Amino acid sequence: MTDNQKKDWAVAEIIDWTTKFFKANSILESRLDAELILSGVLAMKRLDLYLNFDRLLTLKELADFKVNIKKRIEGLPIAYILGKKEFMSLTFKVTPDVLIPRPETEFLVEEVLRVSRNMEVFQKFDINSKILIVDTFTGSGNIPISLAKHLNKILYFIYGIDINLKAVKVAHENSLLNQTLRDVRFLHGDILLPLKIFSLKGMVDIITANPPYLKTSVLSTLRKEVKCEPKIALDGGEDGLIFYSRLIDQALDYLKVGGYLVLEIDPELNFLITEKLELNGFGEFNLIKDLQGLDRVLSVRRLS
């Protein structure tokens, strides 16, 4: 493209050129990424590119496109380039301050929906109160906002908590974007500690978490795309368990007996997490596998 800066570029032509360029630079989903970047620059749906193959790019569009393909070659994830990511059929704003929502986390949301609806049926429900769900390590807010969009607003109230103030701001923006401001409240603080000011000890029905769970030693081996994501959302300490341990300790203060803890986990940490939960009065374990057949979500009930 550098040698042809003055030529006119049509949609089909620039997609083909960029696909080859990405392949030469070891970008795995080369054509998909080319199409996504171009659709973002042109402010059209990806499928609409196929209806506009002969459309010529303006000089401004071409310049913006070149900036974005350079970012992709340098390793910036496509979601950060576009500034958005789809999750549970909803659109979320993402910035380098938040972890990019993953498809496997949808299994966590689905499990919380299952547990929640069971609670509606089997729990005597006081219409003057609400079932309380708290999402920790909330990041972009994709988990609590998705829950709010799928649950009966009359029956539930949801908190999302993150220690990263910039992430809390992104989550609030996503709540506005997805029209859940009345149903989700985002708090800044460490795991469950912000709940203290609301006197919610022993009152939470469901706690969810997708905590940092990568061992510190593996961070240097990650793909460059993942290295662009905030370390605070990835680093689980020397053994990957530090935040699970702290969450479980705090959950004993805030989770009702009979309430649920629903976690996304590293499959390799399954037995260690389960052991700690059992030692702290949790039981009725339910493991959910992801699309690769790996243990990815752990749902457990507080029994005592």
So what's the pLDDT on residue 125? 53
Structure tokens at 100: 């990019």
So what's the pLDDT on residue 119? 83
So what's the pLDDT on residue 123? 53
Taking the C-alpha atoms of residue 103 and residue 299, their distance in angstroms, rounded to an integer, is 18
The pTM is what?
A: 0.93
Taking the C-alpha atoms of residue 20 and residue 273, their distance in angstroms, rounded to an integer, is 45
The CATH class of the 96-302 domain is: alpha beta
Taking the C-alpha atoms of residue 38 and residue 8, their distance in angstroms, rounded to an integer, is 15
In one letter, which amino acid is 150? H
DSSP, collapsed to helix, strand or coil, labels residue 7 as coil
Reading the chain (304 residues) residue by residue, the pLDDT tens digits are 655 556 789 999 999 999 999 999 999 999 999 999 999 999 999 999 999 999 999 999 999 999 999 999 999 999 999 999 999 999 999 999 999 999 999 999 999 999 998 887 655 556 567 899 999 999 999 999 999 999 988 889 999 999 999 999 999 999 999 999 999 999 999 999 999 999 999 999 999 999 999 999 999 999 999 999 999 999 999 999 999 999 999 999 999 999 999 999 999 999 999 999 999 999 999 999 999 999 999 999 999 9
So what's the pLDDT on residue 74? 94
Taking the C-alpha atoms of residue 82 and residue 133, their distance in angstroms, rounded to an integer, is 30
Structure tokens at 228: 């662009």
Q: Delimit the domains of the chain by residue range.
A: 2-74, 96-302
Structure tokens at 90: 């909803």
The residue ranges of DSSP E strands in 130-241, in sequence order, are: 131-136, 156-162, 184-188, 204-209
Residues 6+ apart with CB under 8 A from 216: 235, 236, 237, 238
Farthest CA pair distance, the chain? 72
Q: Are 268 and 217 in contact (CB under 8 A)?
A: no
